[in-house]
Each structure stands twice: as C-alpha cells, then as structure tokens.
C-alpha cells in the first residue's frame, strides 16, 4: 500500500559543525519519503536555531533540549534520527520511544551491554520500530555477498576475516579543536574507543554476511598514541560453532588508511572479498574455476539486489546510497507499523544487533584485561 504522505522526521544532534547528521538528512531525502520538521540539533540553543534556520524549519520546532522536543512532538513527528555522541543514544531513544515515536539511531547502540539490555526492554514495551544505522550492511553488493553465503555457494564457511582501518587518530587529535575527536576521546561520552567507533561496524558486517555469531573470542585492545584515554587499535580472534575461525582488526592509527573496511569470507568451495572503498565490486574466487568480479549492475545479480541502485550501473554508488537504502527500507518498516500491517523479512539492523554489538565490546574488554583469555561469547 502506498504511504499517504512523507514521514515526519525529527533529529537530535546534527547541528552546525557536526558530521553524521547531514548524512542522515541527505539519506532521508534521497527517496523522498521523509520531511525534516523538528530538531534538537545541539546542546547549544544558538547552534540549534542556526541549524534549524539553515534547514528552513519553523523556529518554534527547534528545541533547546531533546526532552522538550520528545514531550512536544509526540503527535508532530513519526520518527526521530539520533545522531549525537554515544552517551546520549540510550536516554534520547528512551525519551522518544516512551512518547511513541519510532527511532533511527546511529551506532554504537550505547555505552555498555547493561544499558543496551535496558534499552532493548524499552523498545519492546514501546512497540515502536528501532533501526540502528550500520549503513554498510545496506550496500547492494553486501546484500549479494550475504545471499551467496546463505545459498551455500561458498560451501562450508571456514574463515571470516574483517578489518576496518583508519589513520585519522594517529595523533592526539582529541586535544585539538576537532569536534568529532573531542568527545570520542572522553570515556564518559564515547563509552569505547576504536572498538566502538569502527570495530562495531566490522563486527556487524561480518555477522550480517556470514550469518554467524562467534562462540568465543580472544582479544587485545591497545592504546597506541600516548596520552589517549581509550583504545585506538583492537585485534580479536574468533571461533565459531561450526569450527570456523575468524579475525577482526579495527584500528584508527593504521597509517595510510582512510576508511578501509574489508571483508573476506572463505568457504570450502569459494571465497569472497568486499572492500568498502571500492563498493561497486564484489570478488568471488571459486577453488576450481577462475575468479570473477561482480559489479553493481551485473546481470547475474538477483532482481532484489540489482534494483537497489539509484543511478545506472557504471556510475559509482557508495556511502550516501547505503545510508539512503537504510532510510528507504526503514520507511517501509515504519509505515507498516503505523498502518498496523505485519512486516517480515527486514534486513535492517535493529535493537538485537545493537545489543549483540555491545556484548561484543564487553567480551573484548573482558578478554583483553585477562591478557587475551578466551571468553565464551555465546554466554555473554
Ligand atoms: N554510521 C556511520 O557511518 C557513522 C559515522 C560517523 C559517526 N557515527 C555516529 O554518529 C554519532 C555522531 O557522530 P558525529 O561524528 O556526527 O559527531 P559530531 O560531534 O560531529 O556531532 C554530534 C552532534 O550532537 C550534538 N549534541 C551533543 N549533545 C547534544 C544534546 N544534549 N542535544 C542535542 N544535540 C547534542 C552536537 O552539538 C553535534 O551537533 C556517533 O554516535 C557516531 O558513532 C556513525
């Protein structure tokens, strides 16, 4: 059934000078299913008002606090995007869920596994939709990779190798005027360092494509840059129930890397490789046949995957379109909830993925503090 109107979107965070809020706003407009109508864009009212004015919003709907916005917009917005530093995700989400408003929240879910379980209970009580923007899982060729693993084309999965490497924190940027770095360097605001910031993306992508969560893990968290309060490099070894082994390496001090998120999965019959910085290609390497590269427009992709694109094949799509896809599918999911219709088959990351991600961080910390001791993740 065609929705009768655009979804009314509110935003918390994403004020002037912020990074990801603007990406969410572009993503929401990409398929014309949302209209931004309200915001608490910043902890500074002046910044919030300037941001709202630049976005042509009614000044009366630019709020001094998210609490005020949640109270006043219960009938004014359908969904809120949460794009604040991590420590605010849980309290902001709770305020809006309790007002009956659907939530699209950026990652990592919150500060720790205990807070994640509490938030999960609020989501379940609210009966609202909760979408977590692990955006890389909405790239067309990642969906294709997942289908190929699930169809058994790779055979029995033996190795899962994932890495997310950056170098922008190679110096003590949190002590400069870099807005994005400042809260990321504060334990009370970030909750975790590299493991939360990019490690959770790598974790979610590997789990999404392989269809498996590990049974146990051994980890080493490191702080490479002197004076930093949180980890900036993490290495994790994983063991899966079927005997497969895995490795996850996330780093924000890996010189020469910008957003090098790379996933390789090896089965008994073939392997696959995806690199986020080249997201219109997916390599498949069968054991007894030549390797081949699938492209976003390839005629052999399923209709479901091929129709995800917004511009003809050969025109690169990537980060923004991945976010746009999350927003497109979230709109379908939220409209079904508003109309009281059943909705099945969602591939969007939700509260359960967020809880698993926070348990992963806790397990990594636990193992690292015990000098890499194997931690039973299935019991986490
Ligand atoms: N999915 C991705 O690819 C991706 C990429 C970057 C960041 N993120 C996540 O997005 C979130 C924001 O990251 P960022 O890099 O955009 O940070 P940022 O510092 O650029 O932006 C944070 C915004 O939140 C606002 N804010 C702070 N306190 C507030 C309050 N009390 N009320 C309202 N607004 C408040 C700030 O003023 C700022 O506008 C983080 O959770 C981060 O992990 C996700």
Q: Which atom of ligand 1 is nearest to the CA of 319?
A: 3
Question: Same domain for 205 and 274?
Answer: yes
Question: Same domain for 160 and 74?
Answer: no
Average pLDDT value over all residues in the chain: 97
* CA 42 to ligand 1 centroid distance, Å: 9
* CA 324 to ligand 1 centroid distance, Å: 18
Which among 88, 68, 67, 74 has a CA at the least distance from the CA of 13? Answer: 88
Question: Same domain for 97 and 208?
Answer: no
Find the distance separating the first CA and the last CA of the chain, reported in whole Å. 41
Question: Same domain for 209 and 259?
Answer: yes
Question: Same domain for 95 and 146?
Answer: no
Bridge partners (DSSP) listed for residue 36: 9
CB 280 within 8 A of CB 316: yes
The boundaries of the domain holding residue 287 are 137-311+356-376
Question: Same domain for 71 and 159?
Answer: no
CB 126 within 8 A of CB 97: yes
DSSP string for 296-324? TT-TTS-HHHHTT-SS-TTS---HHHHHH
pLDDT tens for the chain, 380 residues: list them: 678 899 999 999 999 999 999 999 999 999 999 999 999 999 999 999 999 999 999 999 999 999 999 999 999 999 999 999 999 999 999 999 999 999 999 999 999 999 999 999 999 999 899 999 999 999 999 999 999 999 999 999 999 999 999 999 999 999 999 999 999 999 999 999 999 999 999 999 999 999 999 999 999 999 999 999 999 999 999 999 999 999 999 999 999 999 999 999 999 999 999 999 999 999 999 999 999 999 999 999 988 999 999 999 999 999 999 999 999 999 999 999 999 999 999 999 999 999 999 999 999 999 999 999 999 988 66
Residue 316 in any domain: the answer is no
Question: Same domain for 120 and 95?
Answer: yes
CA 349 to chain CA centroid, Å, is 8
Question: Same domain for 189 and 228?
Answer: yes
Place of tokens 């080249």: 278
Question: Same domain for 112 and 52?
Answer: yes
Closest-CA residue, ligand 1 atom 39, reads 15
Question: Same domain for 84 and 196?
Answer: no
Q: What pLDDT is recorded for position 42? A: 98
- Rounded to whole angstroms, the Cα distance separating 227 from 263 reads 31
Which among 34, 55, 41, 33 has a CA at the least distance from the CA of 11? Answer: 41
* CA 179 to ligand 1 centroid distance, Å: 9
User: What tokens does 154 get?
Assistant: 């790779």
Domain of 225, CATH number, reads: 3.30.360.10
> Does 66 contact ligand 1 (Cβ within 6 A)?
yes
> Is this structure's pTM higher than 0.75?
yes
Q: What pLDDT is recorded for position 2? A: 73
Question: Same domain for 197 and 208?
Answer: yes
Q: What pLDDT is recorded for position 4? A: 84
> Which of 46, 62, 82, 84 to mutate for ligand 1's pocket (most ligand atoms within 8 Å of CB)?
84
Q: What pLDDT is recorded for position 379? A: 66
């Amino acid at each position: 059934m065609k929705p009768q109107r655009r979804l009314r979107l509110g935003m918390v965070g994403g004020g002037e000078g912020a990074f990801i809020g603007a990406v969410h706003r572009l993503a929401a407009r990409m398929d014309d299913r949302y209209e931004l109508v309200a915001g608490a864009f910043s902890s500074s009212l002046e910044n919030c008002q300037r941001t709202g004015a630049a976005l042509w919003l009614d000044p009366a709907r630019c709020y001094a606090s998210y609490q005020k916005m949640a109270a006043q917009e219960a009938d004014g917005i359908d969904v809120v995007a949460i794009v604040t530093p991590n420590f605010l995700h849980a309290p902001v989400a709770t305020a809006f869920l309790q007002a009956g408003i659907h939530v699209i929240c950026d990652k990592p879910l919150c500060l720790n596994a205990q807070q994640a379980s509490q938030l999960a209970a609020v989501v379940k009580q609210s009966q609202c939709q909760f979408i977590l923007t692990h955006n890389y899982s909405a790239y067309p060729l990642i969906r294709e990779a997942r289908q190929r693993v699930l169809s058994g084309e790779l055979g029995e999965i033996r190795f899962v190798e994932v890495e997310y490497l950056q170098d922008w924190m190679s110096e003590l940027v949190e002590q400069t005027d870099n807005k994005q770095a400042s809260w990321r360097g504060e334990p009370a605001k970030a909750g975790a360092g590299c493991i939360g910031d990019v490690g959770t993306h790598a974790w979610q992508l590997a789990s999404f494509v392989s269809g498996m969560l590990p049974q146990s893990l051994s980890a080493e968290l490191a702080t490479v840059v002197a004076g930093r309060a949180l980890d900036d490099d993490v290495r994790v070894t994983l063991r899966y129930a079927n005997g497969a082994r895995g490795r996850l390496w996330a780093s924000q001090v890996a010189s020469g890397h910008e957003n090098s998120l790379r996933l390789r999965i090896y089965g008994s019959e073939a392997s696959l490789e995806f690199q986020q910085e080249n997201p219109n290609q997916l390599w498949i390497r069968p054991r007894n046949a030549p390797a081949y590269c699938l492209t976003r427009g390839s005629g052999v992709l399923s209709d479901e995957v091929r129709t995800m694109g917004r511009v003809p094949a050969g025109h690169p799509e990537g980060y923004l379109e991945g976010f746009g896809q999350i927003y497109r599918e979230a709109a379908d999911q939220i409209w079904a909830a508003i109309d009281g219709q059943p909705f099945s088959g969602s591939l969007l990351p939700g509260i359960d993925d967020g809880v698993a991600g926070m348990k992963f961080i806790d397990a990594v910390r636990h193992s690292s503090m015990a000098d890499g001791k194997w931690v039973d993740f299935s019991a986490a």
